[in-house]
Amino acid sequence: MIQPLDVQICETARLSRDARFDGKFFTGVITTGIFCRPICPARPPKPENVQYYLSAEQAQHAGFIPCKRCFPEQAAVKSLPVKLKRIIHSFDYKSDNLTTIANRFDISTRQIQRLFQQHYGLSPSEYFQQQRLLLARKLISTTELSFSDICFASGFNSVRRFNEAIKSRYACSPKSLRKTKNTANNTHLTINLPYRPPFDWQLMLTFFQNRQINGLEKVTNTSYQRSISIDNCNGWLVITHHQNKPALQMTIVLSDYSYLNNIITRVRRMFDLDADMDLIHRQLSQHPLLEKTIQQHQGLRLPGCWDIFEFSIRAILGQQISVKGATTLAKRITEKYGEQLVDLPEGISLSFPSVNALLGAKYEAIGLTKTRIATLQRWVEFYHEHYESIDNYPSLEQLEKQLCEIKGIGPWTVNYLAMRGLSDPDAFPSADLGIIKALTIDGQKPNNKEILQLAEQWRPWRAYACIYLWHSLGH
């Protein structure tokens, strides 16, 4: 069943250009054949000439073309169920189809069809085709990549099909869509990654700055920079905040731009760009301590990670030691077992070691205890055999049950891994000392059962509650 849109609410939001509704619906203008965001600066059309759509993909599928003033293909992603987010984030344009996705997440193809119809008004195949077209249009209009690079970066399998799809949807060639001259020798690519405010960029940078691995990452007061090494694709990126828009700006150089969509997904998860903070704040503000912290720091979000395996190693290293100590150990492992990449800026030429690089590693001269070394060795062997089940876990309870069978891995590590490594909004390391301290009143520490009972009212946003509780200790 398609999720209904309230026409009156849409109409009011469109006429008032209410930014809170940006990305939550799209307006198709019958007289022009163009679709817009609710914040479009153009003169609003008459109500009888307007149709409303759940998503940019649905509006484009209905035959409308993206507006050149408000760029609806760049709108922040609306709030979605966790399962649907995981399906979209994990989709590989090169090899995936409905059957492979259903097998990966252990759900039926009918369930997947229902999810996409409910939240996008499209079948999965229609949605992903419109995603390819929207990304291609965005790259054609805003970058100087060659059309061949854009073709594969946006998920098309051949240049011929890419050209045909562009001409069919936009009634012109890729060359006609591009306003500037093709200067494909320029290897730098800059892309805007929008979000829905509030978002505290400085807090996010500070979080990553306190945990940066020198040589792999470089975090300043204004930017995040790191090396990229995925399969045979190498490169680097710099993330800054856009000067005038609610968006991060990613400048990137890659040896293979067919990985671009993969990287966009990673960055959006890493900086939590798809969260609807108004919705999360309304639920968490029912608790007085969380309400106070939210009022003071409304833009605080859930920091994710670049790579699940990289983060899992860092999570194990962080067991019962300080952030600084864990970061030092992660740096030593990177320097000893990672690769030195070429043609990268000074200071970010290292790559984090792969699973294969750490199989059988002895971790000599790293400064680890024998117990921690044994835990890492068991974990790497497990991850090598079962990485798909970790990335596509059916539930938090099952993930915790599976991983806690590994000696040295407990509920705290599993929930921290799910919270930041897998970006699960409901993960909650209830036994964390910071959470216990934040919830201690007049010297009375709550026990684990009491904390879990209290946290029931925060579902499905317990991971955000954890971040706010941690932050309340420092302020």
Task: Assign residue 199 the CATH number of its domain.
Answer: 3.30.310.20
Co-location of 118 and 173 in the same domain:
yes
**pTM of the prediction?**
0.84
In a domain, 144, yes or no: yes
Residues 202 and 268 in one domain: yes
Query: For the chain, what is the domain count?
Result: 4
Do 135 and 153 meet the contact criterion of CB atoms below 8 Å apart? yes
Q: CB–CB of 306/226 below 8 Å?
A: yes
Instruction: Based on the fold, state whether residues 154 and 211 are members of the same structural domain.
Output: no
Assigned domain for 349 exists: no
- If asked whether residues 210 and 132 sit together in one domain, one would say no
Pair 37, 107 in one domain: no
With respect to residue 136, please indicate whether it lies within any of the assigned structural domains: yes
- Cis, bond preceding 174 (omega within 30 deg of 0): no
127 Cβ neighbours under 8 A, 6+ residues apart? 55, 57, 116, 120
The per-residue DSSP string of 411-442 comes to HHHHHHIIIIIS--TT---TT-HHHHHHT-BT
Is residue 99 in some structural domain? yes
Other C-beta atoms closer than 10 Å to the C-beta of 341 total 18
* 287 and 141 belong to one structural domain: no
Q: What is the pLDDT of residue 475?
A: 54
> Which one-letter amino acid corresponds to residue 57?
E
CA dihedral over 429, 296, 80, 169, signed as positive or negative: negative
CATH of the domain at 135: 1.10.10.60
Sign of CA dihedral 260, 54, 31, 8: negative
Residue 210 neighbours by CB under 8 Å, 6+ apart? 323, 324, 327
- Among residues 274, 296, 313, which one ends one of the domains? 274
Q: Which two tokens stand for residue 105?
A: 């997440």
Whether residue 211 is found in the same domain as residue 65: no
Q: In this structure, are 168 and 89 located in the same domain?
A: yes
User: Which residues 6+ apart lie within 8 Å of 107 measured at CB?
Assistant: 83
Question: Residues 242, 263: one domain?
Answer: yes
Task: Write out the residue range of the structural domain in which residue 462 sits.
Answer: 275-304+423-475
- Residue 452 CA to residue 457 CA, distance in Å, equals 10
Separation CA 90–CA 75 (nearest Å): 20
Kindly state whether residues 445 and 299 are assigned to the same domain.
yes
Q: Is residue 384 part of a domain?
A: no
323, part of any domain: no
Domain closes at, from 17, 52, 74: 74
Same domain, 86 and 171: yes
Residue 213 covered by a domain: yes
Check which CATH number belongs to the domain holding 25 and give it: 3.40.10.10
Q: What is the pLDDT along the chain (475 residues), one digit of tens a residue?
A: 455 788 988 998 899 888 778 888 999 999 999 999 998 989 999 999 999 998 999 999 999 999 988 888 878 766 777 788 888 888 887 778 888 888 888 889 999 999 999 888 899 999 999 999 999 998 998 888 899 999 999 999 999 999 999 999 998 999 998 864 444 444 578 999 999 899 999 999 999 999 999 999 999 999 999 999 999 899 999 999 999 999 999 999 999 998 998 999 999 999 999 888 988 999 999 999 999 999 999 899 999 999 999 999 999 999 989 999 999 999 999 999 999 999 999 899 999 999 999 999 999 999 999 999 999 999 999 999 998 788 788 889 999 999 999 999 999 999 999 999 999 999 999 999 999 999 999 999 999 999 999 999 999 999 999 999 999 997 5
Q: Which among 42, 57, 74 is the end of a domain?
A: 74
Q: What is the CATH number of the domain that holds 300?
A: 1.10.1670.40
Question: Is residue 353 a part of any domain in this protein?
Answer: no
- Give 318's contacts (C-beta < 8 A, 6+ positions apart): 326, 416
- Quick one: CA dihedral 9, 11, 13, 16, positive or negative? negative
Same domain, 428 and 467: yes
